[in-house]
Amino acid sequence: MIAIIDYDAGNLNSAYKALVHLGKEPVITREREEILAADHIILPGVGAFGEAMKQLRSFGIPEVLHEAVDKGIPLMGICLGMQLLFDDSEESPGASGLGILKGRIVKIPDTPGHKIPHMGWNSLEMQKKSRLFTGLAEGTEVYFVHSYYLEPAEEEIVAARTQYGASMAVAVESGSVFGCQFHPEKSGILGLRILENFVGL
């Protein structure tokens, strides 16, 4: 069973439909028992970092996700969901993230020719052999919608980067924890392959 975390701040339908397209039977849930019984967990997210963390806490989800990680259940954060895996964000000063991985979220620099938010397709620069990218080539293009990006405390967790006014870490892998700043569920056939790789772990 694949649990998609419902905390009233996520774009649930696109992830749900992508998984159904892959022949899976995802469950949208915020229930502790269902989350901890899952084979895989996806944490989607749209909106602001601080408000999303407030919503997660209101449902008691941070503790459940930490417990799931301790159990080794594969967890993937998508877009804001990836950002929430880390310590904090410039978007919401004073708001703590989940702290499952170490690093902070910073604003994309204002540079000529680069509109913010970053919306559209960009190519991936693979940084290490990641299980998410099995069967994908260097330069695979994926779809982004974001204004903030990750500055990791540990470069070794970075699975891929992209260039957009800065070299941005846009995918991570650390043990059973994964993150994609881009939207695999909106990235066509190759994005579906990334999701398939994840749920195949």
**Catalytic one of 91, 146, 180, 185:** 185
Contact indicator for 144, 119 with CB cutoff of 8 Å:
yes
Cα 177 from chain centroid (whole Å): 10
Record the tokens describing residue 31, joined without a space.
Answer: 């229930």
Which DSSP helix (H) or strand (E) runs through 143?
strand 141-146
| Those residues with Cβ within 8 angstroms of residue 92's Cβ, 6 or more apart along the chain or in another chain | 48, 49, 50, 51, 53
**Catalytic one of 79, 91, 173, 180:** 79
Q: Is 185 a catalytic residue?
A: yes
Q: Is 66 a catalytic residue?
A: no
Query: Measuring CA to CA, how many Å separate 152 from each of 110, 139, 174, 201?
Result: 20, 22, 12, 24
**Catalytic one of 40, 173, 183, 196:** 183
Q: Is 51 a catalytic residue?
A: no
Active site residues: 79, 183, 185
